[in-house]
Structure 1
Amino acid sequence: MDMTFKGAARRLDDLDLPKLGALIGVGEDEIHAFIDVETTGHGFDALGRPIILFEPHVFFRNLSGAKRAQAVAAGLAYQRWGQTPYPRDSYPRLKAACAIDETAALKSASWGLGQVLGENHIAAGYSTVQAMVEAMKADEELQLLASVNFIKTNRLADKLRNHDWAGFARGYNGAGYRKNAYDTKLADAFRKWSRIKDTPWPQAAPPAPSVPIQPPKPATPPDASQRLPTPAAKQGFWAALFAILKAIFRRK
């Protein structure tokens, strides 16, 4: 893993929000509210790295034995959330944690617009946490897609669609969501975005109605008059027969 954590750092475009929201049946306002509360609407920091939050208590549970003891001694891991204040920049701690165990360290940070925890890479659509981090470095659309996948996997789409802010907050952020008023912030952000005109979302055109294929009509059988020989055909027949008989008599 490149320890600069820099990639293409592509930003969202106008259609990404309604397009990705449609995957879980919600509108642009719900998606805006969600990412506003998670990361104030930005997926990359001033250096072009994904916004992250390194969680020492998650690092603790992803380690064991000598590695855990080393991380605890370095102040990078502890057993319970909130034991010490978090620094403004999580990257120095993440890099130090990677030196102990890269996979455990990457799993212990929340990434991008939706702050998907690395531990949840499978639910986010990635077979490894390293693959998820590469996507986080590349594009805010991929960051948001990881969140949408997580929401789908954990059956939270209905709660977001129905504006059950407390239910969504509990499912996405855990039982301690009230400490940060996550549900209230979601409701406030949604009200704000509801007053702002959405980006038009060009839905796919409905399929053209199918036109039944008509079977070919059977050929019309000839009527009786068509089956009878014509006068010209009769004349030709007798002329040919006369010529044959004339030739026979000449040989005699």
Structure 2
Amino acid sequence: MPQDFVGSALRLSDIDLPTIGATIGCGEDEIHAVLDVESRGSGFDKHGRPIILFEPHIFYRLLSGPGPDLRARAVREGLAYENWGEKPYPADSYPRLKAAMLINETAALKSASWGLGQLLGSNHAAAGYATVQDMVAAFCASERNQLAGMIAFIKSEGLDRALRNHKWADFARGYNGPSYAKNQYSTRLLRRFLFWSDIKDTKVFAHADAATETRLRDPKAGHVVGSPPAPAPLTNVVQGGAQPGFWARFASALFRRTV
């Protein structure tokens, strides 16, 4: 993993959503909806680190078992508690994460949700990674990796059908958990989907040259032939940080106004 979780921090290119989404038969609008609700469409913070949320109740659960009483230490240090919602989340989860890693690195990384799709580290295998460390390193490198991991998880959990068919409650239950209705998760998904449905989709062929031409059928068909071009590097990087691209800024601004 890169030092301080600052890697290449490459933003999505315009064609990443349609090409990666098409692997599960989803167009841009469905994917945009999930990203808006989970991360406001941006996978990195101002320092170029993946957006995260450290979950103390998951850290508490993962520290169970024989051996040194690491759970008691984590509780004493305010890094773990038994039930979700016992205490408010801080504005920045990284200090908590780094402190938790001193107790148990793997459990700490598994207890945070990461990137565009806020994918929990404990789901690294479903996202296509052998270890949570591998997943975190990849997510530090690019939003494209974050998106691909999210899509792999959706497919692994059998949620792609619900997303394709706009069964928002079914998708929300599987992706956000059984308490999804408390924060109107499915309602917000629908709202963001309707918003993006009114915006013209990306023209994939306009972004591919003869050597790397990306050929797509209708995104709803769920079939891709060829490899998409690599995402463009981040621009306007300051002190290892990242400025969101056009679509990330656009989605974030409108999200704040409409969600």
Which TM-score tier does this pair reach, normalised by the shorter chain?
0.7 to 0.9
Contact 2:12 2:143 in 1 (8 A): yes
Matching residue of 2:15: 15
More off after superposition, 64-73 vs 158-167: 64-73
Which one of 176, 201, 221 corresponds to residue 198 of structure 1? Answer: 201
Post-superposition offset of 1:201: 2.9
Which one of 160, 172, 175 corresponds to residue 175 of structure 2? Answer: 172
How high is the TM-score relative to the length of structure 1? 0.80
Looking at structure 1, the residues matched to 179 and 94 of structure 2 have their Cα atoms a distance apart, in angstroms, of: 25
Matching residue of 1:40: 40
Matching residue of 1:107: 110
Deviations along 1:54-76, one digit per CA (max 9) or x if unpaired, are: 00001011113511110011110
- Listed as ranges, the matches of 1:149-164 within 5 Å are 149-164=152-167
- Listed as ranges, the matches of 1:71-220 within 5 Å are 71-202=74-205, 204=215
Question: Once superposed, which parts of structure 1, at least 4 consecutive aligned residues long, lie more than 4 Å away?
Answer: none
More off after superposition, 3-12 vs 190-199: 3-12
Contact 1:170 1:176 in 2 (8 A): yes
Deviations along 1:167-194, one digit per CA (max 9) or x if unpaired, are: 0000001101111111000000000000
Looking at structure 1, the residues matched to 196 and 47 of structure 2 have their Cα atoms a distance apart, in angstroms, of: 28
Change (3 A) 1:158 1:105: same
Deviations along 1:99-126, one digit per CA (max 9) or x if unpaired, are: 1010000000000000000000000000
Size of the aligned set, in residue pairs, is: 206
Looking at structure 2, the residues matched to 205 and 21 of structure 1 have their Cα atoms a distance apart, in angstroms, of: 11
Contact 2:126 2:156 in 1 (8 A): yes
Matching residue of 1:60: 60
Which structure is larger by alpha-carbon Rg, 1 or 2?
Answer: 1
Contact 2:2 2:137 in 1 (8 A): no
Percent of aligned pairs sharing the same letter: 62
Aligned-pair RMSD on alpha carbons? 1.3
Q: Which has the higher contact order (CA 8 A, sep 6+)?
A: 2
Contact 2:2 2:140 in 1 (8 A): no
List runs of 5+ in structure 2 lacking aligned partners.
206-213, 218-259
- Listed as ranges, the matches of 1:225-244 within 5 Å are none
Give 3-state SS (helix, strand or coil) of 2:124's partner: helix
Give 3-state SS (helix, strand or coil) of 1:93's partner: helix
